[in-house]
Amino acid sequence: MTGGKNSILILRERKAVDIVPDPISKKNYLDLPAPGLSDNRADVDRLRQELARVIGPVSIGPGIMNSVSRVLRESGWKATATVGVTDSGWRLVDLEGGDTTARHFGIAVDIGTTTVVVYLVDMRTGEVLDVEAGYNGQIKYGEDILTRIFNAGDSEGLGLLQSAVVGSLNELIADLSERNGIDGKEISAAAVGANTTMVHLFLGLDPSNICVAPYIPVVNSPGIVEAGFIGLGVNSRSPVYIFPSIGSYLGGDVIAGVLACGMHRRDELALLVDIGTNGEIVLGNSQWMVACAGAAGPALEGGVAASGMRAEMGAVDSIRISPETERAVYSTIGEKSPLGICGSGLVDGIAELFLNDIIDRSGRFRDGRDSYLVVPSGESGTGSDIVISQVDINNLMRTKGAVNAAVDLLMESVGCDLKELGKFYAAGAFGHHLDIESAVTLGLYPDLPRDKMVRVGNSSGEGARMALMSLQSMRDAADIAANITYFELNASQDFMNRFVSSKFIPHTNMDYYPTVKKKLADRKLLKI
């Protein structure tokens, strides 16, 4: 799975929100006076004093002191210092002979349960130079999060899971480095958006209390960690900023998403929905924010549905059903022979099944069959039929029901109506790929004027890029995390009631979905 070719993995807009560049690692070229009998300051002290003048206090650890001395002497006291931010100021990350300020790199990292993405960023401008994505190597220790939490129960298992994800990232970093002619040591900063469990496993922290009431993680705000501690294949002294989480089920990836869409900076009311294995929802504006999260179910994860696969070459990613023949017209990623259906294809297909009256409002096949044939075996690249099964539809109905119930509950809890929404943000890598019309048809997304609906792409990665480039963004993320009021849905009977009663397409109350109602009316399918 190579990035750059696959649209799901590319940031929608490189500068979705203006950032004043103030990156978390900085490079400064220094021309130091050579020592002599009348200026006998020691090498490290000489450098430290010059950095204090240029940047402010910089901590220089003992592990880099020999290198400082050697580089200063070899370069004739002309060298470039790279400093990185810590929890309490700046520290020296590297010292290179001569002027290397033109080469200043960082990585923005999105660690998903399934997929990891690394963006190579030019720290001078914030530009994404390249991107690489791959599977999270933890998959071999469990497809789903709960299995991984279980397997991390002893320190050996925890170590394996940590190595697995770091190994996956390091492969991507090595590929990016090679392709762009840079050395891993030249990468002097990293920022990471990930859910709470992924952060725990990335740092080697025991996640076992995450899934047990009262759902208390080891840490929500790990802050800035040194790359060497993690074993990340960048300069070992690089700062690795990790987005804070709100709790076990509302992770830093969502905070990064809020940061990326900028809803925390505007007065208009906005709703952010990120649907993956978990559904995470944030509602608010610059004044206040509420959020909730819940297991959305694995309906949209590749590999769960009958013919499911991840969003890779050969995945059916869009489906239209001919009203006349009831047969599917589909497209695949990379226009390859179809191998399976990815999440967005599934949503598209089920929406079409509904709009063509093949399934009813509760998601059941009207004729009682157990699956719909999307690609016959003769056309498929696997030699097998590619289908959407009743089980797939039921799974999606649960996801949709959970999202519906959560959005309704959250809106109601703050006394807001969907009409008041100024913006709806479809966050997360999946949100970027999904057809908005199909998602609205199924009720996954609210039925708002389309100009209010924004796909923010890989919002976790984009938030990470912003944090790389701006200390203020990092502080904003802390403020967002501190100010969000979190509703624990797992403990709410009200949520369960709504969840059970909301498993209708697109919603129990059809009036919330005027465009869907109109589509059904146009097709003479409106039976109420």
- Given 97, 134, 157, 204, the residue binding its own copies (CB under 8 A): 204
- Closest to its own copies by CB, 35 vs 134, is 35
Q: How far is the CB of 98 from its own copies (least distance, A)?
A: 21
Q: How far is the CB of 206 from its own copies (least distance, A)?
A: 5
By CB atoms closer than 10 A (0-12, 13-18, 19+), residue 25 is buried
Do the Cβ atoms of 334 and 313 come closer than 8 Å?
A: yes
Question: How many helices (H) and strands (E) would you count in the chain?
Answer: 15, 21
Q: Of the listed pieces 21-29, 181-189, 197-205, 506-514, which binds its own copies according to CB under 8 A?
A: 197-205
- For residue 203, state whether it binds its own copies (rule: CB under 8 A): yes
Q: Quote the strand ranges of 243-323, DSSP E.
A: 270-275, 278-284, 289-295, 315-321
Nearest to 351, CA basis, from 513, 506, 508:
506
Paired strand residues for 28: 81
Q: How far is the CB of 325 from its own copies (least distance, A)?
A: 53
DSSP per residue, 2-37? -TTT-GGGS-S-TTSS----B-SEEEEEEEPPPPBT
Do the Cβ atoms of 344 and 434 come closer than 8 Å?
A: yes
- For residue 214, state whether it binds its own copies (rule: CB under 8 A): yes
- Given 14, 41, 452, 455, the residue binding its own copies (CB under 8 A): 41
Q: How far apart are CA 317 and CA 434, in angstroms?
A: 9
Q: Of the listed pieces 141-149, 165-173, 245-253, 279-287, which binds its own copies according to CB under 8 A?
A: 245-253
Q: How far is the CB of 284 from its own copies (least distance, A)?
A: 19
Q: How far apart are CA 21 and CA 264, in angstroms?
A: 19
- For residue 329, state whether it binds its own copies (rule: CB under 8 A): no
Q: Estimate the crossing angle of helix 459-469 against helix 471-483, to 10 degrees.
A: 130
- Given 1, 17, 54, 65, the residue binding its own copies (CB under 8 A): 65
Q: Of the listed pieces 25-33, 181-189, 221-229, 251-259, which binds its own copies according to CB under 8 A?
A: 221-229
- Given 51, 85, 176, 205, the residue binding its own copies (CB under 8 A): 205
Q: How far is the CB of 245 from its own copies (least distance, A)?
A: 8
- Given 18, 62, 181, 287, the residue binding its own copies (CB under 8 A): 62
Nearest to 457, CA basis, from 431, 435, 423, 477:
431
Nearest to 468, CA basis, from 107, 81, 82:
107
Q: How crowded is residue 78: how many other Cβ atoms within 10 Å of its Cβ?
A: 15
- Given 3, 23, 84, 217, the residue binding its own copies (CB under 8 A): 217
Q: Of the listed pieces 53-61, 109-117, 119-127, 406-414, which binds its own copies according to CB under 8 A?
A: 53-61
Please tell me the number of Cα atoms within 13 Å of 477 on its side-chain side: 34
Q: Of the listed pieces 16-24, 25-33, 218-226, 493-501, which binds its own copies according to CB under 8 A?
A: 218-226
- Given 52, 212, 213, 496, the residue binding its own copies (CB under 8 A): 213
Pattern of binders to its own copies over 458-487, x per CB under 8 A? ----------------------------x-
Q: How crowded is residue 502: how many other Cβ atoms within 10 Å of its Cβ?
A: 21
Binding site for its own copies (CB under 8 A): 35-37, 40-45, 48, 57, 59-63, 65-66, 68-70, 73, 86-89, 203-206, 209, 213-223, 225, 229-230, 245, 247-248, 486, 488, 491
